[in-house]
Amino acid sequence: MTHDDDTAWLRDHWLGHRRLTRTTVLAFPERDLLEYAAPGMRPFAAMVHEVASLTGPLVDGVVERSWTWPRDRGPVPDSKDGVLALLDAATERIERAWPSVTAARLREVDTPIPRRTETVLATLLYFIDNEIHHRGQGYVYLRSLGIEPPPFYRR
Amino acid sequence: MTHDDDTAWLRDHWLGHRRLTRTTVLAFPERDLLEYAAPGMRPFAAMVHEVASLTGPLVDGVVERSWTWPRDRGPVPDSKDGVLALLDAATERIERAWPSVTAARLREVDTPIPRRTETVLATLLYFIDNEIHHRGQGYVYLRSLGIEPPPFYRR
């Protein structure tokens, strides 16, 4: 929001969170990443899989004005490298799509999901917030495992 | 970001998160709010106390261009009503200050904390993200206590 035509602040905000999410994945021992979970919750690998799987459809919807959410997100990777590869591929989609994301598009009101009618900016923040939310849960898992999570301010 | 002079999107974003944080506090039994914690972590009451205590200095810094962070945040309330009162008072400070928050101010680069030089927008998002992060941790506590957290999309 440096000026009205600027969308770089949002890309930087998102990519900063992506870097911290990646660092959080790295902090997990592989087995705990894939298996450790609080009661009634998923392992952190499954949360990152959700975040990564939604990124492509999300940026496609922003750029192409057509929203298609996959019914089947595919399996959660069974290795730490697999989780990282999925996350990195998703992050590349943000970087590739971003030059097509205009400030005007961020201001447009759209309906990405039935009964959610809002600006494209609000939709993007919603999904970034979902990543922050789940990563915060990953921090509890790490602490419960006796592992110090990465500093929240480091991006 | 409906137009360049609009800051309502950010107020709505923040207040929406505040409502969900409040609902999350309400979902806790009082004793668990004040005492339950994951290993090496604080109870959710202490996290909400942090979020609420930082709100006043944050909005003052945005509006008055002068940043003063209290050394002593005061005690964590010892009741659920006390936590809610602190949170509500903090939320009122957002509402009261907001008419003075201009889009131009959001674009200004400032130094709210030594070695953090960034736009005021980035600072506000940082603290909102901190609230999302800790609330996500509260969700793990609730699940661990066998309590269904409020839906993330409800604001």
The 10s digit of each residue's pLDDT in A124-145 is 999 999 999 999 999 999 999 9
Q: How confident is the model at residue B108 (pLDDT cuts 50, 70, 90)?
A: very high
Exposure of B82 by Cβ count < 10 A (0-12 exposed, 13-18 middle, 19+ buried)?
middle
The token duo for B35 is 């005492």
Q: How confident is the model at residue B5 (pLDDT cuts 50, 70, 90)?
A: low
Q: What are phi and psi of A112, to 5 degrees?
A: -70, -30
Residue type, B93: R
Determine, for residues A139 and B133 on separate chains, whether the beta-carbon distance falls below 8 Å.
Answer: yes
What is the rounded average pLDDT of the residues A49-62? Answer: 97
What is the rounded average pLDDT of the residues B67-73? Answer: 91
**SS3 state of residue B53:** helix
Question: How many angstroms separate the CA of residue A44 from the nearest CA in chain B?
Answer: 12
Residue from B140, B143, B148, B155 to probe the interface with A (highest A Cβ count within 10 Å)? B140
Determine, for residues B143 and A39 on separate chains, whether the beta-carbon distance falls below 8 Å.
Answer: yes
Q: What is the largest CA-CA distance in chain A?
A: 46
Cβ-Cβ contacts under 8 Å, B116 against chain A? 153
Cβ-Cβ contacts under 8 Å, B132 against chain A? 129, 132-133, 136
Please report, rounded to a whole number, the percentage of residues in chain A having pLDDT higher than 70: 97
Residue from A36, A129, A142 to probe the interface with B (highest B Cβ count within 10 Å)? A129
User: Closest Cα partner for B55 from B135, B139, B114, B130?
Assistant: B130
What is the rounded average pLDDT of the residues A51-74? Answer: 95
B75 interfaces chain A, CB cutoff of 8 Å: no
Instruction: Quickly list DSSP for chain A.
Output: --STT--HHHHHHHHHHHHHHHHHHHHS-HHHHHH---TT---HHHHHHHHHHHHHHHHHHHHHS-----S---PPPSSHHHHHHHHHHHHHHHHHHGGG--HHHHHSEEEEETTEEEEHHHHHHHHHHHHHHHHHHHHHHHHHTT-PPPPTT--
Find the closest chain A residue to B155 by CA distance: A126
Question: How many angstroms separate the CA of residue A108 from the nearest CA in chain B?
Answer: 8
Determine, for residues A1 and B119 on separate chains, whether the beta-carbon distance falls below 8 Å.
Answer: yes
Q: Give the pLDDT score at A71.
A: 87
Find the closest chain A residue to B10 by CA distance: A122
Q: How confident is the model at residue A6 (pLDDT cuts 50, 70, 90)?
A: confident
pTM: predicted TM-score of the whole model, two decimal places: 0.96
Exposure of A3 by Cβ count < 10 A (0-12 exposed, 13-18 middle, 19+ buried)?
exposed
Q: How confident is the model at residue A4 (pLDDT cuts 50, 70, 90)?
A: low
